[in-house]
Amino acid sequence: MRTILTTLFVAIAPFSIIAAHSLSIGGYGEVAMSRNFYSDNVYRYSNPAKYKDDPSHGRFDIPHAVIYLNYDFGQGWSMQTEIEFEHTGTGSAVEKEFTEAGEWEQEIEKGGEVALEQFWLQKSFKPWLNLRIGHFVVPVGALNNAHEPLNFFTVYRPEGESTILPSTWHDTGISLWGDAGSWSYELQVIAGLDAFMFNRDNFIKYGSASPYEFKVANNYGFAARIDNRSIKNLRLSVSGYYGNSMHNSFPNDLKDTRYQDIKGSTWIASFDFCYKGKNLIVRGNTGYGHVDDAVTISTIKRNMTSNNAPYKKTPVGQSAITYGAEAGYDILGLNERIQDKLYLFGRYEYYDPYIPASDQQDYTFTDVHRIAAGINWLPIPQIAVKAEFSERFRTERYNNEPSVSIGIAYMGFFK
């Protein structure tokens, strides 16, 4: 028996030593509660006066719970996985479709609400040259680049980018990235977006999703990001995406020859920054997107796709825009003996996911201004307790949408 145990120890011990130095486990998560002081009726935008005095409604939610597993094999080879549980779901959900007269439908969302957001292998040649192949985050915009909950002050993710862009945007492909002094870059070739998943209320947000067991890649997309940190405490970044989005659905059987040359070219341009001083944090972003052939795409979606196909029927605008900024000041930082941080913050953002072409119908309720103000208390660097008051402002015809939210979030590596 002693010989057997000794043999097992000798066999297992080297692996244990390697794992202790090479395996990293981490993650992040959020628990949130909100009380919304406006109507949740599906017709609240078509007849605002009727629903002005409706009662408030509340929600508890776990927006995201994420597990990271990273492993360094040595000799420049490494891997990472990220498994995300959204809203505690495990596959399907019953939803009330606002865009379809309030019908109740059972939805399969992106193949389920347990998602493998990252799974890649990487070979590192130099700090400025790394090759990554697999499934990874597409860092277009401020939020996709830094989507963990301690990277923004609000209880929920900032609304502007999360409304018009996939969030978190993750896709399969090849990535080349690196760091050189105060500069860093990333270039990606990924599966193209699907124009049939674009819609009025969310622009291209669902275009990266796939309801199938595979991702359609008849077309390819190209994403890029450049960051600069030449100025102390300040990061300046630009990012973007380009690709054709038509004929990227399944099955690829649009027989009408009138539309064979419609490409649905889609491009996105974004700028964001982050300043982190001793007690002050300021973040900001702006983004603009455009879809060629938006009118034709909207017509095809409405008239030529099957009623039971997993596509969005509402029209897509030819453009969308968002911009916003937030600032937080740590009032406890005035006393250097206190280790806790207590940020008082404010945020403003504007977004419109539907800017129509000249011959498209306009829907003015998609035009949104939003303000938020509150606190972030960090008893330790990995945990934040958040509370905020926020309000959405649409055009004068519509009712304002105030709400109160509280939440707690964590982010970090455990090993």
Residues 328-341: pLDDT tens digits? 999 999 998 999 99
Annotation: CATH topology of 2-27+62-368+407-413: Porin (2.40.160)
pLDDT at residue 211, as a whole number: 77
Token couple for 103: 């019908």
pLDDT at residue 4, as a whole number: 40
Residue 142 has pLDDT above 50, yes or no: yes
Q: Write out pLDDT tens, residues 217-270.
A: 999 999 999 999 999 999 999 999 999 999 888 776 666 677 888 999 999 999
Strands 265-276 and 220-228: unpaired
Q: Write out pLDDT tens, residues 296-338.
A: 999 988 877 667 677 788 999 999 999 999 999 999 999 989 9
> How many Cβ atoms from other residues are within 10 Å of residue 391's Cβ?
15
| Mean pLDDT to the nearest integer, 161-177 | 96
Q: Write out pLDDT tens, residues 186-229.
A: 999 999 999 999 999 999 999 998 878 888 899 999 999 999 99
Q: What one-letter code names the amino acid at 347?
A: R
Q: What one-letter code names the amino acid at 59?
A: R
pLDDT at residue 98, as a whole number: 60
Residue 65 β-bridge partners: 29, 85
Q: Position of tokens 């109160």?
A: 404
pLDDT at residue 146, as a whole number: 95
Q: What is the C-alpha to C-alpha distance for residues 224 and 60, in angstroms, rounded to an integer?
A: 36
Band of pLDDT at residue 378, cut at 50, 70 and 90: very high
Band of pLDDT at residue 104, cut at 50, 70 and 90: low
Q: Write out pLDDT tens, residues 60-77.
A: 999 999 999 999 999 999
- pTM for this one? 0.86
> How many Cβ atoms from other residues are within 10 Å of residue 3's Cβ?
7
| Mean pLDDT to the nearest integer, 396-409 | 96
Q: For residue 92, give the nearest of 117, 110, 115 by alpha carbon.
A: 110
Q: What is the C-alpha to C-alpha distance for residues 143 and 15, in angstroms, rounded to an integer?
A: 38
Query: Residues near 15 by Cβ (< 8 Å), separated by ≥ 6?
Result: none
Token couple for 155: 């209880």
Q: What is the 3-state secondary structure (H, E, C) of the chain?
A: CHHHHHHHHHHHHHHHHHHHHHEEEEEEEEEEEEEECCCCCCCCCCCHHHHCCCCCEEEEECCCEEEEEEEEEECCEEEEEEEEECCCCCCEEEEEEHHHCCEEEEEECCCCCEEEEEEEEEEEEECCEEEEEEEEECCCCHHHHCCCHHHCCCCCCCHHHHHHCCCCCEEEEEEEEEEECCEEEEEEEEECCCHHHCECCCECHHHHCCCCCCCCCCCEEEEEEEEECCCCCEEEEEEEEEEECCCCCCCCCCCCHHHCCCCCEEEEEEEEEEEECCCEEEEEEEEEEEECCHHHHHHHHHHCCCCCCCCCCCCCCCEEEEEEEEEEEEHHHHCCCCCCEEEEEEEEEEEEEEECCCCCCCCHHHCEEEEEEEEEEEEECCEEEEEEEEEEECCCCCCCEEEEEEEEEEEEECC
The answer to whether 120 and 134 have CB atoms below 8 angstroms apart is: yes
pLDDT at residue 11, as a whole number: 39
pLDDT at residue 106, as a whole number: 66
**What is the Cβ-side half-sphere exposure of residue 283, based on CA atoms within 13 angstroms?**
17
Q: What is the C-alpha to C-alpha distance for residues 205 and 8, in angstroms, rounded to an integer?
A: 52
Q: What are the structural domain ranges in the chain?
A: 2-27+62-368+407-413
Residue 137 has pLDDT above 70, yes or no: yes
Percent of the chain predicted with pLDDT > 70? 87
Q: What is the C-alpha to C-alpha distance for residues 369 and 160, in angstroms, rounded to an integer?
A: 9
Q: What is the C-alpha to C-alpha distance for residues 328 and 161, in angstroms, rounded to an integer?
A: 20
Token couple for 219: 């077309």
Q: What is the C-alpha to C-alpha distance for residues 212 and 260, in angstroms, rounded to an integer?
A: 24
Residue 112 has pLDDT above 50, yes or no: no
pLDDT at residue 253, as a whole number: 60
